[in-house]
Structure 1
Amino acid sequence: MLGNDQLLDHSHLRPGNKAALLSYTQSINMYRENAKKTKNPEIQCDFAIFLVEAAKPVVDDDTTRWEYLAEAEKLLRQLAARGHGESQYYLGNLYASGLLSKKGKNEFDKAFPLFVQAAKHHHADAAFRSAKCYEDGLGTRKDSAKAVNFYRKAATLNHPGSMYRMGVAEVNGELGISKNARDGVKWLKRAAEAATAEYPQAIHELALLHEKGIDNVVFVDHEYAITLYAQAADLGYAPSAFKLGECYEYGKLSCKQDPALSIHYYTIAAQQGHREACFSLTAWYLVGSPNVLPQSDLEAYIWAKRAAEKELPKAEYAVGYFTEVGIGIAKNLDEAMVWYKRAAQHGDKRAIQRLQGKPMDRPGKKKGSQDDCSIM
């Protein structure tokens, strides 16, 4: 929500991490006086954002924290009522994130009308958020036609997320739009050109299309697909990084098998919580790779548990097995049974068999063929 949006950077205004509360108070008082002296909404909005940033690190003084947030909310509401687009959008984000709710509730009923108001001022992010609200029924009824209108508005303002959504909708015939792959690909190409770390999805989507092709629209080109996946991975997009990890592990899409590159890309994805990538690292650590990755039962267990905590059934089974036999962790049958039960609840057949008293299927990995992997 709020943390992912492109907001003004106020790091130059923020006191140091070790600054006393007095430093915040002095800075805020000085900033407040300057904001009062001007009628410039940009400066006043800037001050409200500074108040929010000052409130975030205050964790041991609820009174002060909520005073800052209340003052920011009041000022932003005044600016929003006067038609200041950035204030409308920022206040909408605060409500949507739950930051202004003492219960941490996402207040889309308050956020949605603010996004719509800001969108009228040609605010691309606000138009995109309005579209998402209409598509997902957040703070308003679902309305695909209105969602498309706002996506188009944001897309014409070169918003990469909206161009991506329009592209996918056109290619697949979603949101009540007639299927038109040619127009959809045009949107995806525009979105890819404008891609950012926040909106890298269009690059990945184009790569998928170049894997299989679309008759008379997209030609099959595996080498170009790999290039696109790499571009998205460089922006930190976990699905693309995971895809490259598989390609370099198994030699897919004409890639040469390369353990170092496979592990590199799996790691990029795993560090962002991609559960399949976490589990792929488990498999690599179980066997290791000469001059690339030392074999480590402990690391294998750690990465399997990370995947299991994200409810990947085969990882839950693996953690159960590791815990039962003592791979990377001390043996503990009771704890193992807990993991087997979780895996069984999520449909893992080996876990179900183990709970029925049948012999264990030992997780293991034979590199070079995905079909040969019992752990995978």
Structure 2
Amino acid sequence: MLRFKAKVFSSLLIGAALTLSGCKQVALITASDSTRELASAADNGDARAAYSVGMRYTQGLGETQNYALGLDYFETAAKLGLKEAQYMLGMGYYLGRGTAVDYVEARRWLSAAADQGYTPAMQTLGEIYYNGYGVTRAPMRGIYWSLQAAEADDAQAQYLVGISYLTGLGSNKARRVGEEWLMRSAQGGDQRARTLLDTLN
């Protein structure tokens, strides 16, 4: 029985791979010449080309929107070390776009991008750990990533750092420091920071 189940599972995996491969071939038949050229370059190990194809399909830029196909190209580029693709792949797993929600894979790829200093990935990881989204809540770890993104002028991260200093959750409580971060966040366009500052004042 166990051997039978293993064969069935293996067949399902092969079937899924063939389905995606078939979808890719069909999509590329109807794709623009520039997309086909990029896809060919991606198949030859060009990470930037793979990322560009991924963006075209996930965002519907000149091609019919197809998250699953776009994510496949992001994965190609992510495995080649492209931080932007690692971030997009991580967000795909995190939001369940083009694939099932998988928080472990999401953190894996977001961490890979964050380790390369990619600000959006650091900001997202900060929120994930600070709020406990799909992971055991770890405010200090969340602020570790948020602070790096905040120092790179990410308004959302600056807001979270401000909240942390105001409440003492994830950092030492320091109202003045918290308000300074909220002011920077508000100047960067985060409406939540503006609203909170009005309340505090």
Q: Normalising by structure 1, what TM-score?
A: 0.43
Residue 89 of structure 2: aligned partner = 130
Displacement of 1:73: 0.9
Residue 155 of structure 2 corresponds to residue 200 of structure 1: yes
2:167 to 198, 212, 236: 212
Distance (Å, rounded) in 2 between the aligned partners of 1:71 and 1:234: 43
State the shift of 1:143 in Å: 1.0
Q: Within 5 Å, which residues of 2 pair with 1:168-247?
A: 168-175=127-134, 177-195=135-153, 199-214=154-169, 217-244=170-197, 247=198
Which amino acid in 2 is paired with 1:236?
G
Partners of 1:142 and 1:158 in 2: CA distance: 24
Distance 1:143 1:182 in 2: 23
- Number of the residue aligned with 1:91: 53
Q: How far off is 1:191 after superposition? A: 1.7
Letter in 2 for 1:235: G
What per-residue deviation string (whole Å, max 9, x for no partner) do you get for residues 300-319 of structure 1?
A: xxxxxxxxxxxxxxxxxxxx
Task: Supply the AA of the counterpart residue of 1:129.
Answer: M
Q: Which has the higher contact order (CA 8 A, sep 6+)?
A: 2
Question: Hey, what's the Cα distance between the residues in 1 that align with 2:78 and 2:157?
Answer: 23
* Structure 2: distance between partners of 1:124 and 1:200: 20
Query: Which residue matches 1:343?
Result: none
Query: For residues 75-124 of structure 1, what are the alpha-carbon distances to aligned partners after superposition, in whole Å with 9 as ceiling and x for unaligned?
Result: 111111111111111111111111233xxx53101100111111112211
State the partner residue of 1:167.
Answer: 126
Matching of residues 60-139 of structure 1 within 5 Å? 70-101=32-63, 105-139=64-98
Size of the aligned set, in residue pairs, is 171
- CA distance in 2 between counterparts of 1:228 and 1:91 reads 37
What secondary structure sits across from 1:114 in the alignment?
helix
Alignment partners' CA distance in 2, 1:208 and 1:80: 42
| Matched letter for residue 159 of structure 2 | H
The structure whose residues are more often helix, as a share, is 2
Cα distance in 2 for residues equivalent to 1:238 and 1:106: 31
Which stretches in structure 2 are left out of the alignment for 5+ residues? 1-30
Please report how far the alpha carbon of residue 129 of structure 1 lies from its aligned counterpart in structure 2 after TM superposition.
Answer: 0.6
C-alpha separation between the residues in 2 aligned to 1:82 and 1:130?
A: 20
Change (3 A) 1:237 1:106: farther
User: How many angstroms apart in 1 are the aligned matches of 2:184 and 2:81?
Assistant: 30
**Offset from partner CA, 1:176-226 (integer Å, 9 cap, x none):** x3332222221111121223xxx4311111111222222xx4233332222
Contact 2:51/2:73 (<8 A) preserved: yes
Identity across matched positions, percent: 22
User: Tell me, what secondary structure is at the counterpart of 1:174?
Assistant: coil
> Given residue 81 of structure 2, which amino acid in structure 1 is its aligned partner?
H
Identify the residue that residue 147 of structure 1 maps to in structure 2.
106
CA distance 1:169–1:71, change in 2 (3 Å): same
CA distance in 2, matches of 1:201, 1:92: 25
Q: Deviations over 1:290-329 (max 9, x none)?
A: xxxxxxxxxxxxxxxxxxxxxxxxxxxxxxxxxxxxxxxx
Which of 1 and 2 has greater Rg?
A: 1
Q: 1:134–1:147: 8 Å Cα contact kept in structure 2?
A: yes
User: 2: distance between equivalents of 1:113 and 1:193?
Assistant: 32
Amino acid in structure 1 at the alignment position of 2:160: E
- Verify the 8 A CA contact 2:143 2:164 in the aligned structure 1: no
Deviation at 1:147, TM superposition (A): 0.7
Amino acid of the residue matched to residue 141 of structure 2? D
CA RMSD in angstroms comes to 1.9
One-letter code aligned to 2:177: Y
User: What secondary structure sits across from 1:203 in the alignment?
Assistant: helix
